[in-house]
């Protein structure tokens, strides 16, 4: 299957950077889908559905004979609460108040679609933050970094100063669990190891 081209169905520069570290050639195609969570939808179901819908939308817009589609979606979960991207500063502040001095889980679903076959893997990472002060919240929001991030933070950026511990895949928290991606790409002989 090496003659097939890989499409990353994501506009996230962080996902592109991570995929580049694997040395896999790819092109970006961002599908336009509704990312609303369904009422009572569990985190795992939501993030998996989003990855699948992104892959299917890109698949419908491209020549399926030529491309393998890689799509992903990430959420931050704490108990029963799911934290996607913040709406505004007040929403981000509520998220940080919950995450501060507590543990949460980052969940990323990765989907590979080749022809009409879908394969999905789930990355899970536990993260614990230290206490976050109001001054830190204001300064972080003003940096512009958290606005488009699940859980209102980027572990690879300024919010790394809040991380007390991490158990699991760091790349998963950034937005693309590389071990799972490597396993999926191995099925089409595009993995790097």
- Residue 166, beta-bridge partner list: 127
Alpha carbon distance 68, 90 (integer Å): 40
User: Is the dihedral angle over the CA atoms 26, 45, 129, 164 positive or is it negative?
Assistant: negative
Residue with tokens 């998996």: 48
| CB environment 110-127: b (16+ within 10 A), e (fewer) | bbbbbeeebebbebebeb
Q: Which are the catalytic amino acids? A: 73
Query: Helix 13-21 crosses helix 178-186 at what angle (to 10 degrees)?
Result: 60
């Amino acid at each position: 299957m090496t003659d097939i081209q890989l499409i990353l169905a994501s506009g996230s520069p962080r996902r592109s950077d991570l995929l580049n570290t694997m040395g896999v050639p790819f092109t970006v195609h961002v599908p336009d889908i509704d990312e609303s969570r369904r009422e009572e939808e569990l985190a795992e179901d939501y993030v998996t559905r989003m990855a699948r819908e992104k892959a299917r939308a890109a698949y419908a817009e491209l020549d399926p004979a030529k491309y393998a589609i890689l799509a992903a979606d990430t959420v931050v979960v704490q108990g029963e609460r799911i934290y996607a991207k913040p709406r505004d500063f007040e929403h981000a502040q509520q998220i940080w108040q919950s995450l501060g001095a507590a543990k949460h889980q980052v969940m990323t679903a990765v989907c590979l679609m080749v022809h009409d076959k879908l394969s999905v893997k789930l990355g899970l990472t536990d993260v614990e933050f230290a206490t976050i002060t109001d001054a830190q919240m204001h300064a972080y929001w003003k940096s512009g970094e958290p606005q488009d991030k699940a859980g209102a933070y980027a572990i690879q950026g300024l919010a790394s100063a809040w991380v007390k511990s991490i158990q699991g895949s760091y790349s998963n928290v950034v937005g693309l669990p590389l071990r799972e991606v490597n396993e999926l790409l191995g099925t089409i002989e595009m993995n790097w190891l």
